[in-house]
Structure 1
Amino acid sequence: MKSVDEQLLIPQADYIKLLRPLLPVEAFEPDLNKLVILLLNLIILGLGWAIATYLNQWHTNLLWLYLPLTLIMGNSIIVLLFSSHALLHGSVIKNSRLIHWISLLGLAMWWMPPTLWKAVHNREHHGKTNSLADPDRNYLSKQSNTWGKWIQNQFVPSSEVNPICLAIGMATAWGIHGFRNLTSVLLFNRKDVDYVPAAFTVSARERWAIAQEFLLIFMLHFSIMAYLNFEPIKLVLSYFLPIGIGYAGAMFYIFTNHMLCQMTSINDPLINSVSLKVPKLLDVLHLNFSYHTEHHIFPGINCDYYPVVQKLLQLHYPERLNLLEAGEVWRLLMQTPRHHQNDTTFTDWSGKKFVSCPLSQPMED
């Protein structure tokens, strides 16, 4: 017999069945504009590195003039993730070979092999969002206190996190996420690996492709640093700082996507995901990534139509949609522990503090 929780959850397929006929046909057609955006941001990074090669000729007092370009490059790194994300969901072009090689370039600054991304994000995360089997979920309090769990406890937003550790975590959490999953599948490829929230496996062919792609990404990063002559000032201003800014900006979105939500045994995007209210400029710059619930219902839709999906959700499911101001979600993240005691309760490292998930849906019929 189903629990009350399961009875009230609505599978993703049911939302699609209701909403798909209400959306225009063009919402599901490829959008080449996102490919142009991806390529433009690759060009921005290239220009930034080209200019950085002359930084050793700048007077020390003038180096601050490069900082606006550092910020622009940091934003380009964010856009490369979000545009590659759309590309790999099939909403940009349909040619699988082109998708693979362009996404390899787009995800290179994120140290993310596209084959690994398709496994961990498209297949595992989207198919099992915020369930026990989701590799992107919070750790459970009952899971072993491994290095992966310790790092999340120390560096992600929570009521216990140290502000300095949080600042470090914003710039490095993506790297830890990638390292955990990469080593899990390349070194072990078993479902009993305990330092990831939920281990998954890939096929032998995928495993080999991931290794090859990671090697290409490593060579690309080495080439960039060599192009900058391994000079510290060039590397700091045009490589490390833009990457840190880009990772921090993207992690703000990623932390707010699901971490505050209750876990669900049935993939119900309105319960296990959050959409943010952000300034319009950020939606323009970041391809409407704030519309995350909408994305989880229709992963392959043109992101320009997420607002249309949101309006339909507000019309048909006004009490279920988690739509909050970005600042409010962040405040709630900073007021709650980060480990799951159960589906609707958070706890801390010690397991002595218990806080109900602030976005838990009422369980009464």
Structure 2
Amino acid sequence: MHIVAKHLTKSFGSFQATKDVSFEIEKGRLIGLLGPSGGGKTTILRMLAGLEEPDGGEILFHGQKVSGLPPQERGIGFVFQNYALFRHMNVFDNIAFGLTVKKRSKQQIKERVSELIELTGLKGLEKRLPHQLSGGQRQRVAFARALAPEPQLLLLDEPFAAIDAKVRKELRTWLKDMIGRLGITTIFVTHDQEEAVEVADEIMIVNEGRLEQKGTPIDIYKNPQTPFVAGFIGESNVLDDVSRFKGFEEGALGSAKAIIRPEFIEIGTPGEVSYPSAAEQGIVTNIYFRGSNWQVEVEVEGLKLFAYRSLERSALQPGDRVQVLIHRLYMFNDNEHITLENGLKIDPMPVHI
């Protein structure tokens, strides 16, 4: 299903949940609707589903306006955060529910449910009740039930929130694979950026009712369009003044904020940093083991920065004096955003690993 939303606004009393939200979603895309709690994600999802009507703007499915059209006539499958399974129905009957309501024949129901049970890995569990299933199995039943009537659009509201971390990772991979095979347009709400980056073809980042940015996970990470996106996706250092740092004295945008990703910073002992003439002097204040690397907190010019350091290099300790090289940073003000490279990186020195 091809979706277009134009200038959507929605208020609940004095609270404006969405503010002039517009976007377009191509058929077959898996979209992550990402943002903090209360940012407007679920409101957008519910307006698409027909569970809420926008106060202003319009929604088009395949070029046709759907305002006023009830949910059951929009060709949508909806998976809720709490599964919403019928406790007195077994797996087969839960999946078959939508088909039964549509008065499909018993043979059609049997064939479609059997197909979905196979697709979702629920074979052998057809007669179990929801309380006899694990959280991951219940979520698969909810997916299968939503898919049973063959919707053109699948909407998922925090689909993995009630599942433990290990199963959640397994379901992410399964969902991406399943949606890829089915080719159904899918939008899932999440506040977990790792989940959105791992699963989605594209991400829509929503904050305070506004759509901040839409794009592929890589594009959003590498080319954030707003300070919120730069600070929300990935980890970051946020600074008010970077003109004090070597290589950035001339590039600052006046009163603009600077956002520096940890991977933009190189921390090392003398002889390790690639461009020592462009480096600052710093003192290590803390170091944390992060599994695949060290996260090093360092004080430079009275400011605290954190960066990553390879486990292949010698371990640093609090109090160590180090060289700190900022390779690049993002800068934002009210009118523009730019990426700045360190202007003093000229003659590289050998890097010792």
Q: TM-score, normalised by structure 1?
A: 0.22
Q: TM-score, normalised by structure 2?
A: 0.22
If asked which structure has higher relative contact order (CA below 8 Å, sep 6+), I would say 1
More helix by share: 1
More strand by share: 2
Q: Which of these two proteins has the greater Rg computed from alpha carbons? A: 2
